[in-house]
Amino acid sequence: MSNPPTEYYSEERWQNWIDRIKDEEIDPEDESSARLLLNLQDDTAIAIAKIVAAYDDGDIDDETALEEIADVREIVLGEVDIEDEEKLILVDGVQTSLVCVFFAAEEYIANGPAEDGTVGDYLSAAADAEAEEDLDAALGYAAQAGTLIIDEDELDMTVAEDLEYGLVTEWINGLDSLQSAMSDPEVVEEDG
């Protein structure tokens, strides 16, 4: 492996989650299956929250924080070795949700929290951009919303209810995990 393992997250940790998903019967309608997928997502969000907190506390500098985030992203967004097509799609959904978490953390470290607007404003702008098929802008707006969540603004999940299902609703799902992780970064146990 080219990168040394990050102290915040490891290849092995991600692989343990993937192995559990491979080994279990996964039915997204079943509560324990849904919880396993959510725990996978939350566990990654917690790692990102810890990196951001270490940066905010002055324990690591911005360059180190961005490198740590990049390391976690490389692990989590890499290709997953699952033969079961349905499980692969479900893990892909988790990865999609987390894309915005990574961008939000990087944006927060590079430029601080967004200054104009609320979480809801940015997510509405993201949805509008997605409707116009400008996915880069949509991700940018969603990441700005994420910087505000990191800065302890509130994500109201009802904002997602009015949106058509798509990338922005997936990203909001990830931001919800980030919000939980920022408020209580010790919830998920790897061995569940």
pLDDT by residue, tens only, the chain of 192 residues? 344 445 799 999 999 999 999 998 888 788 888 899 999 999 999 999 999 999 999 999 999 999 999 999 999 999 999 999 999 999 999 999 999 999 999 999 999 999 999 999 999 999 999 999 999 999 999 999 999 999 999 999 998 888 889 999 999 999 999 999 998 766 554 443
Supply the pLDDT for residue 10. 94
| Helix, strand, or coil (residue 57) | coil
CA distance 116 to 113: 9
CA distance 106 to 86: 31
CA distance 157 to 192: 25
Is the separation of the CB atoms in 106 and 67 below 8 Å?
no
Q: What is the pTM of this model?
A: 0.91
Residue-level length of the chain: 192
CA distance 51 to 147: 14
CA distance 76 to 98: 9
- The residue ranges of DSSP E strands in the chain, in sequence order, are none
